[in-house]
Each structure stands twice: as C-alpha cells, then as structure tokens.
Structure 1
Amino acid sequence: MNPFFIVHTSKSFEQASTDLQAAIVAQDFGVMAVHDLGQTLRSKGIDFSEDCRIYDVCNPGQAARLLKTDMTLNMALPCRISVFTEGHQTRIGMIRPEGMLQTLSSDPDLMKVARDVESATTAIIEAAAS
C-alpha cells in the first residue's frame, strides 16, 4: 500500500488551505500549528517556487487513547496534513497514520486508533479538496 494519501485539487493553494482548516474542525480535530515551509525557505534566500503549508492536527481523544497505551508514541504525534503545489498544481496529502503506526507497534488496540484517525484524516483531505 502507498504510504502516502495525496489528493489533487483544482483549487488554488490559498483556497485549499482555507478549506482544509474548515474540514479539520468539522472532523473534531484541531490545528496545533501551521508551518509555511515555502515561505520559510524563501525568507532564507532559497529559490523555491512552490508553496507548502504543513498543518499539525490532533484529535485530543484519539491522542489520549494512543498515549495511554504507549507513551513513547508521543513522538508520532501530531498528525500532519500538507497543502502543497507541485508543478504549480495544488495537492493535499499526508503520510497514512495506520501504515506509520504499524512500523512502531503491533498492539491491536493501537491499530484501531490508527484506523480511526486515518479514516477521519482521509475525510478531512477529501472534503478540503472537493
């Protein structure tokens, strides 16, 4: 299975970013931080023509379930969803939570959390892209 979930959208980078924030809230997640990687690179004098914003997102209930089972998994939190351009085409994507967690744990309870989070974050991306 592809470790990435990426959706192409006809929306502008700015519109996709705005719609992503609304979709995150609609799925009971919160935005913990936004990293404007494209702007940061340009501000450092690097010739970078694409746009890229990385959203650190979290559902507190799901995070607590994960951490109660294995506190070392705090290093896999929060989830990250990116809005980016590639060849000036807008995309929204993430590393799949279930696949990532499978490399860190074999606990069946944690796999259930990962499936739930992946279902919600996939829905977030699809809503923002449409």
Structure 2
Amino acid sequence: MPATVRNSLLWIFEPLEREATYLTRRMFGSDAAYLDGLLCPTAGDGDEPWNGLLVCTSKEHHAALIEELPVLKPHPVLGKWLYISQADAAFEDTVEAIVSRVLARDPRIGVAPTPRKRGRKSVLPKGEG
C-alpha cells in the first residue's frame, strides 16, 4: 500500500533544505519552515484558509510585500501574516518569489518564534538558543 503524503506542498521547502539552519515543524496542521532561527513560510494543504502559503512577517511589512506581490492578502485567521491560497493562479510564481526572498534573507520575512512551554523542544539549532 503506498504511503500517503502528509502535506502535498512540502515541495515549497525543497530550496531551503540546503541551508544549514533550515528546520521544519508542524504548526496549525501545516508545516512551518525556519531559517536562521526565524519562522518564515508555512505551507498547508488543508481546507481554506489553511490551503496555501502563509508568509510569516509583521504588519509593518505588509504594504511593501503586497506592493511587490499583490496576490498576497492578510490571512483571515492569523492577520499578522500574509497568505495566498494554492487555488490562486499565481500560487506557484508567488511561492517562488517568497522562497527566493527567504533565501536572500529579506528582513521583511521571518519572525522570532514564540517560546514553547516547558517540556517541549526548541526550534533553534543547538548552540543558538
């Protein structure tokens, strides 16, 4: 019996996998990518509004990112982050643009993760937290 894929959007993170500080964790039923200890994009293939790419950023950067990528919109549940549904015709191009910005360490993308409660592992690589 073939294995089922947990998340059909994990291909989004493939370019990040070459980075020494890359980590991935489950979040909100999606997968979250971390680079240099920052939470960057998350990808999920669930029901809307968890069916696409969330760009982890702060509200102060929304206008500039939306100006460059007008298909991004504040997420309807997590309004502090931007979102594009995989149903959008511009999804793949937008993913490519966001991932390239993450790899370039665009300071507008990435947020410090909220510390987890005691007893849970940190998302920071060893020696960085």
Highest RCO, 1 vs 2 (Cα 8 Å, sep ≥ 6): 1
TM-score normalized with structure 2 length: 0.28
**Higher Cα radius of gyration:** 1
TM-score normalized by the length of structure 1: 0.27
The structure carrying a bigger helix percent of its residues is 1
